[in-house]
């Protein structure tokens, strides 16, 4: 077998996809033309058995269409709907796709339906961000060129419904793994913030000391990193590349592995941070200089996170 693309195609075309092989290969990045086929498998949205895939897909899409009809066929939960409609236009404001009316209406429906089906959490600000990489990846299957700047209203209604349904189910799978980030008191996030703090103390004691000397509390900068999976800190293309790896890391990667990615991310700026005072630290970490990040910067971050996880994940008892 030759190229990476060939390797992917070989796995994807087998009667039963070897998910471990697919994870292993995808960890280092999925070719953009194959993401819309690979992500649903990694997420467990579609079955590895190819003979069952088409049926499952049409069943899930039909199920979403019904859920959508039901949800909007009755009076809306006005408080929930209000929060969603004020957040949707503020989602990825720099990204032309998300200023598009068609994409925004889709996103509103996805968020609303997910929220009424998950009352323990409901819609929490930031979940809007998490739906968008899926939409963008699935959209790219239907268009020529860059999904980031395309006009989805040019697609047929059927295709738009397919993209919307696939985004919905993928978002649901993602959120299944991190629901305690969004329930009352957000214990999942609190746990990760605490862990990030403990790990920093071990991995970079000087930085840890400096932050505490300056009165910096980890929650002040890392809450958003965890709540939005670093989507506010790096570009969309970086996020999509990161998710190739996250989706390959297994079920708890958006919580456990993500903590190590945050640790590596913090570590990356250690030298600069040690020279800054309280407010400059917070300002820096709120808008870190990642604007020019390419895939290779992301890949370095992910490798560092992986190394840190390998060393520290089983060393929990030493930390506490």
The reply to whether 125 sits near other proteins by the rule CB under 8 A is yes
Which range touches other proteins (CB under 8 A), out of 35-43, 135-143, 180-188, 238-246? 180-188
Which residue, 27 or 223, has its beta carbon nearer to other proteins? 223
For the segment 4-33, give every residue that binds other proteins (CB under 8 A): none
The piece of 33-41, 43-51, 223-231, 255-263 that touches other proteins (CB under 8 A) is: 223-231
Cβ 318 to other proteins, closest distance in Å? 29
List binders of other proteins among 37-66 (CB under 8 A).
none
Q: Which residue in 176, 217, 252, 313 binds other proteins (CB under 8 A)?
A: 217
Q: Taking the complex as a whole, how short is the minimal distance between the CB of residue 184 and other proteins, in angstroms?
A: 7
Closer residue to other proteins, CB minimum distance, 64 or 265:
265
Q: DSSP string covering the chain, please?
A: --SHHHHHHHHHTSSB--HHHHHHHHTT---TTTHHHHHHHHHTSS-SBHHHHHHHHHHHHHHHHHHHHHHHSS---HHHHHHHHHHGGGSSTT-GGGGSHHHHHHHHHHHHHHHHH-TTT---TTHHHHHHHHHHHHHTTTSSS-GGG--GGGS-HHHHHHHHHHHHHHHHHHHHTTGGGTSTT-HHHHHHHHHHHHHHHHH-HHHHHHHHHTT--HHHHHHHHHHTTTTTTS-HHHHHHHHHHHHHS-TTIIIIIHHHHHHHHHHHTHHHHTT--HHHHHHHHHS-S-TT--HHHHHHHHHHHHHHHHHHGGGHHHH-
CB-wise, 29 or 122, nearer to other proteins? Answer: 122
- Indicate whether 157 belongs to the interface with other proteins (CB under 8 A): no
The site for other proteins (CB under 8 A) is made up of: 82-83, 86-87, 89-91, 93, 99, 122, 124-126, 128, 182, 184-186, 213-217, 219-220, 223-224, 227-228, 232, 277-279, 282-283, 286
């Amino acid at each position: 077998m030759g190229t990476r693309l060939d390797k992917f195609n070989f796995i994807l075309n087998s009667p039963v996809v070897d998910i471990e092989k697919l994870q292993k290969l995808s960890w280092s990045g999925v070719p953009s033309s194959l993401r819309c086929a690979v992500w649903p498998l990694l997420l467990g949205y579609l079955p590895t058995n190819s003979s069952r895939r088409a049926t499952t897909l049409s069943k899930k899409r039909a199920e979403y269409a019904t859920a959508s009809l039901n949800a909007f066929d009755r009076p809306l939960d006005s408080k929930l709907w209000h929060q969603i409609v004020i957040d949707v236009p503020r989602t990825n404001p720099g990204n032309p796709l998300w200023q598009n009316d068609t994409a925004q209406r889709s996103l509103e429906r996805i968020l609303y339906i997910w929220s009424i089906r998950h009352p323990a959490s409901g819609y929490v600000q930031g979940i809007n961000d998490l739906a968008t990489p899926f939409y963008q990846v699935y959209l790219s299957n239907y268009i020529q060129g860059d999904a980031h700047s395309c006009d989805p209203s040019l697609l047929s209604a059927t295709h738009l419904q397919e993209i919307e349904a696939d985004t919905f189910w993928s978002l649901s799978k993602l959120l299944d793994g991190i629901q305690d980030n969004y329930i009352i008191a957000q214990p999942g996030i609190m746990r990760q913030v605490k862990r990030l703090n403990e790990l920093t103390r071990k991995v970079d004691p000087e930085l840890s000391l400096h932050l505490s000397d300056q009165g910096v509390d980890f929650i002040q900068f890392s809450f958003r990193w965890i709540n939005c999976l670093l989507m506010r800190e790096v570009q969309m293309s970086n996020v999509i590349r990161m998710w190739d790896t996250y989706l390959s890391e297994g079920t708890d990667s958006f919580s456990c592995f993500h903590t190590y990615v945050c640790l590596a991310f913090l570590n990356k700026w250690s030298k600069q941070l040690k020279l800054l005072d309280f407010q400059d630290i917070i300002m820096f970490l709120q808008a870190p200089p990642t604007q020019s990040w390419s895939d290779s910067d992301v890949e370095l971050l992910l490798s560092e996170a992986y190394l840190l996880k390998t060393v520290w994940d089983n060393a929990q008892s030493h930390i506490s």
